[in-house]
Amino acid sequence: MTFETAPAPEIDMPATHASPELLRRAYRLLRTSDELARLYEENKAVTAKYVHATARGHEAIQLAAATCLGPHDYAAPYYRDDSMLLGMGLTPYELMLQLMAKRDDPFSGGRTYYSHPSLRRAGFATIPHQSSATGMQAIPATGVAQGIKYLESQHVGLRQADPRDSYESGQPVPGLYSSVPTNEHSSNPLVICSIGDGAMTEGEVSEALQMAVLHQLPIIYLVQDNDWGISATGREMRTMNAYEFAAGFKGLHRLQTDGADFLASYATMQEAAEYVRQRRGPVLVHAKCPLLGHHTSGVRREWYRGDDLAQHTLQDPLPRFHEQLLGLDFTETELQELADEARATVQTDYARALAAPNPDPATFADHEFAPPAVTQETGERAPAGAEKALMVDAALHAVDDILQEFPEALFYGQDVGGELGGVFREAALLAKKYGDTRVFNTPIQEAYIIGSTAGMSAVGAKPIVEIQFADYIWPGLNQLVEELSKSCYLSNGQFPVQSLIRVPIGAYGGGGPYHSGSIESTLLTIRGIKVVYPSNAADMKGLLRAAFLDPNPVVLLEHKGLYWSKVSGTEEAKTTEPAAGYVIPLGQANIFQAADEQKLAGGETCVVITYGMGVHWTRTASRQFPGQVEILDLRTLNPLDWDAVQAAVRRHGKALVLTEEPLLNSFAESLAGRIQRHCFRQLDAPVFTLGAANLPAIALNVELEKQMLPNPDKVATALAELLGY
């Protein structure tokens, strides 16, 4: 047999325990991967309509990794890993359906790029959704491993695929794992996180490695190093490779391998998997690979590679493996037959994929969210004999109830564990009651705190996490936007992320520029997450439980000034505490204060549409206008109770939208504009808005803070003008 590549170097024959059947399948799949890359290049007018990358040069290590992945395991492949997917049992046809964004793409229904898989299918390793990987996959993948370890500690089973969702009506999975002798692996689940060496420079990767060694998690970080980013070389991007870098993480077992040599890669990956399954601790495998294809179809190798491509070609895994198999008594005829089968399959699958239907445009909006678990208010809001509770205590009791009821629930974040139980004591004594496995502190890693919940959710754990202050959420926004918010939509509904993210928010009493900010408008530009903002203890308890039960990412904003009702005018944030199990549907506003019916009939009233502290500012201000002010407490900002907003505006004809945020370009201004567009004919005055001054931060001095923020007096001034319009 001849190859269209440069001659392979001297062949070393590493010892192997791989069976002839495994070697045969691996060779056929390596040839399949080669044929895919060749076909895509020959038909680039069709195949490069949407961007893609192929595994050329990386096939050997990827196929070796696939031998470690059984139906009880989890994988986070990256965008060059189509050979790993073939090794896991996916067919060329399925990969091509994604390449061409076809309706039956099993990962996303035509919504996301080639080799960006999401898969929950019986008989296969689970592949949770991840974004275009530039290191970000390390955190959700580590969250999967942490979820596995947590559920094992609680003796709770992992979430499994629906057994009815099998491969072609129960046919055997055509991957490599089933070819591995059963005595070489066990059922202890593991995670493989695949990543490029360039992405190892991302700070979020270090957060993931830190947590993996801190908690000794069952994960393999497979680093495929081809010495290139896009057009940047390794020497431009780093002073050490991933193997050298990983030495700084004590407790991270390290291995190196020749990623262009299947036999060496197989031996290394089996060693890594055995270590993880037996010791339940993390491993990093550094695999050196050539880059034989384009970085992506949109970045042509001939534009910048020069002589480097010829040097990489000398390391081509295909001729090397071919020669090794001849040395293991395979014949040229046998290998040619496998090559012919691979080519025939690719050609046939390509014709099928070309003819496959495109998505129905009518489905474009499907799966923004998974259906809510709570659709109506249930439980006792004001049980007989119940005492009034502070908002902070209502939240604490709600979490306590959840941890008692749901063994898969856990709570973590900065300072929420141990003795303190949160800087606001919102988790006081929970760690003592439930143990450090369920309620624990994390490093100061907002990205990990948020992003890990995507992995936790994928295995069936139900995380509640906390960001200490709203001003500190920004390092976590990368994960919130790319990994959590898009997961349900881009996985075609396979992987909604159940995640409750608690965030203390708001200003009072001199908190200063880094402990007082309001962030809801930024959050509300992120589609695919829900944003909740209670104003009192009863709502806090009911909404927190609903947020926990919701199968989607929910950010719960908790105003620090309402926690203890110490701020003048916030006494009504303290309410009778609802019974355990009380729940309020997300997206349901509440009339906190109604207007007098006679004054309403006389056209003397208005509505203030607000949330959080705004409810209490308005309550105080409205005492100057008895019976004339309705307060509509939104409670949930997304989904918005638009029906309640419209009804209130049409009922009164005059509306003020009140926020604590700087007003310019805020959610409040957006809502006011929407009201004017849809309720114009019922308005008796322009929609008024009131918010904080348009400044970049809240000053530390309390007098400067007062000047910037709304307060009851400012609200009263706005109400007087609106009612008199």
**Catalytic positions:** 515
CB atoms near residue 512 (< 10 Å): 16
Per the CB < 8 A criterion, the answer to whether 178 and 172 are in contact is yes
Query: What is the per-residue DSSP string for 355-387?
Result: HSPPPPGGGTTTTSSPPPS--S-BS-SS-TTPP
Alpha helices in 568-711 (DSSP H): 597-601, 613-622, 642-652, 667-679, 702-708
- Contacts (Cβ under 8 Å, ≥6 apart) of 378: 581, 582, 583
The SS3 call for residue 344 is: helix
Taking the C-alpha atoms of residue 550 and residue 541, their distance in angstroms, rounded to an integer, is 14
Q: Which residues of 612-623 are buried (b: 16+ CB within 10 A; e: fewer)?
A: bbbbbbbbbbbe
How far is residue 35 CA from its own chain's centroid? 33
Query: What is the per-residue DSSP string for 42-72?
Result: HTHHHHTSS-----TTTHHHHHHHHTT--TT
Structure tokens at 700: 């530390």
| Residue entry with tokens 């069952």 | 218
DSSP 429: T
Structure tokens at 159: 């979430």
Structure tokens at 101: 């964004």
The amino acid that residue 648 corresponds to is A
Per the CB < 8 A criterion, the answer to whether 56 and 62 are in contact is no
Bridge partner residues of 689 (DSSP): 657
CB atoms near residue 406 (< 10 Å): 14
Structure tokens at 65: 């990794």
- Contacts (Cβ under 8 Å, ≥6 apart) of 48: 40, 297, 298
Strand 439-441 to strand 388-389: parallel, antiparallel, or no bridges (unpaired)? unpaired
Taking the C-alpha atoms of residue 96 and residue 100, their distance in angstroms, rounded to an integer, is 6
Angle at 513 between CA 510 and CA 514, to 5 degrees: 105
Structure tokens at 433: 């009651």
Taking the C-alpha atoms of residue 574 and residue 591, their distance in angstroms, rounded to an integer, is 17
CA distances from 183 to 17, 180, 276 (A): 12, 8, 15
